[in-house]
Amino acid sequence: MATVVLPRSLVALFPGSERRVSVDGSTVREVIDALDARWPGMRDRLCIPGPVLREYINVFVDAHPADLATPVPPGGTVHVLPAVAGGSRPG
Amino acid sequence: MDQRVLLLVGTKKGVFILDEDGAAGDAWRVRGPLCEGWPINVVCHDPATGRLYAGGGSPWFGAAVWRSDDLGETWTHSSAGLNYGADEPPLRSIWQITPAHGALYAGVEPAGLFRSTDGGVTWTHVAGLRDHPTQPGWQPGNGGLICHTVLAHPNDPERMWVGISSVGCFATEDGGATWEARNRGVRADYMPEKYPETGQCVHKMTLASGMPDRLYQQNHCGTYRSDDAGKSWVCLDEGLPSTFGFPMVAHPRDAETVFSVPLNGAELGRFVPDARMAVWTTRDAGRTWRDLRDGLPQEDAYLGVLRDAMAVDTLDPFGVYLGTNTGQVFASRDEGEHWTRIADLLPPIYSVETAVVSA
């Protein structure tokens, strides 16, 4: 079981979701699958088809930068953070 | 039955709804920001269901269609099916939502078309449009490679038109399976070939009321009318102050009347000419034009009106409404003759649409 810390701006999109949740998953991808099972559509907010993490979504496992394949140890903490850069679009 | 008008305003920072219910004088009640402050390119009302839909895209969370079943009090969102697959670029935003014949159509960025038959919960790619042989050469306009106009024939569900910047007009007559470029007579001044098959920077198209083979178009390079469903276009620039602008809005009942907001030019700041704001109208299908200024700012107006930021209601006389890229909303309740500023200091306005509902 991992602890996931979600951003306010994501929780606001899914009524009933919480900033700090416990889910099963041994990789970041499995953690996101578990979040999507609990709140359908949450994967689409975090990933593009592939799946691949969206450009301005940063994930950390126990404070280390992570991608979908990164292992999540039992009792680990996964932070999902919108990048500061995401507020403006390039070009 | 008493009716009231809601103005559905899409902005850089969410949806705002202006409600004349409870208004004192010319004051309108402003609700917002809705949809969590996402950039919203379009908001529409489906009279058949009473629902509102909003389309946009979060820089962080991607593109989604939002839906409200209670006139904007609460919203849900979905992206289910809104993608081209794992090997294709992700959708950045939704630019147009068109209810038609029991379905819902979404024009998106990168340019393409999606259809929903369950009220926007799930979506299916209308792949025929991107199967057009010119697609590999499609080039973006300043706003991106966007499908910003989706027009449905009022009687024939097999027939539709889309507008893509800067690619042009396409039409289908087989429900979206195949599409034909329809840009003959429309200039592309920035291209070596001035009348290519595609590459025209259409800014907005609208169907003439009650005459579905007639379309009007505001383009990067002129104003146009087609009387043959887009197969050929005639230029209507004579009498207008410029060839550049964004909105094109049809009278709710008269096929001869449309409204536009010419700007000073693509490379001149994209302001209203001489910083004096005017809506221009023709009552004879573009043969002559007249400016409507009463109540609009006539000095130091360094602003523009974007492609979806003007709309009419269906009342008689009907109202005309517009939002500026500097956050003001102006309303005319007498078909454009007199205008009142009804909101100020909103975020930059991307779209304005009306909903006429029970009072």
Distance CA B26, CA A1 (A): 58
Range of the domain at B292: 3-358
Q: How many Cβ pairs within 8 Å bridge chains A and B?
A: 47
Enumerate the residues of chain B whose CB falls inside 8 A of the CB of residue A13. Answer: 36, 61, 77
pLDDT, position A91? 35
A71-80 pLDDT per residue, tens: 999 999 999 9
Enumerate the residues of chain A whose CB falls inside 8 A of the CB of residue B60. Answer: 9, 54, 56-57, 82-83, 86
pLDDT, position B23? 55
Determine how β-strand B222-226 pairs with β-strand B215-219.
antiparallel
Nearest to A44 among B60, B79, B86 (CB): B79
Fold of A2-85: Ubiquitin-like (UB roll) (3.10.20)
Q: Do A82 and B80 touch (CB under 8 A)?
A: no
pLDDT above 80 (res B81): yes
Write the DSSP string, B193-231: SSS-SS---EEEEEEPTT-TT-EEEEETTEEEEESSTTS
Rg (CA), chain A: 12
B78 to chain A, any CB pair closer than 8 A? The answer is yes
Burial of B86 (0-12, 13-18, 19+ CB in 10 A): exposed
The whole-chain average pLDDT of chain B stands at 96
Instruction: List the beta strands (DSSP E) in B20-51.
Output: 29-34, 40-45
B289-332 pLDDT per residue, tens: 999 999 999 999 999 999 999 999 999 999 999 999 999 999 99
> Which is nearest to B97 in space by CA: B120, B122, B71?
B120
Q: Quote the pTM value.
A: 0.96
B62 to chain A, any CB pair closer than 8 A? The answer is yes
Q: Do A49 and B59 touch (CB under 8 A)?
A: no
Chain A residue with CA closest to B144: the answer is A91
pLDDT, position A86? 61
**Closest chain B C-alpha to A46 CA, distance in angstroms:** 6
pLDDT, position B154? 96
Mean pLDDT to the nearest integer, A43-71: 97
B77 to chain A, any CB pair closer than 8 A? The answer is yes
Distance CA B14, CA A89 (A): 16
Q: Which of helix, strand or coil describes residue B17?
A: strand
Mean pLDDT to the nearest integer, B157-180: 98
Q: Do B59 and A10 touch (CB under 8 A)?
A: no
pLDDT, position B20? 87
Q: Give the CATH number of the domain where residue B278 resides.
A: 2.130.10.10
A90 vs B37, higher pLDDT: B37
Total domains present in chain B: 1
Amino acid sitting at position B75: W
Nearest to B60 among A41, A48, A56 (CB): A56
Enumerate the residues of chain A whose CB falls inside 8 A of the CB of residue B92. Answer: 89
Query: Comparing B18-27, B112-121, B240-249, B304-313, which segment has the lowest mean pLDDT?
Result: B18-27
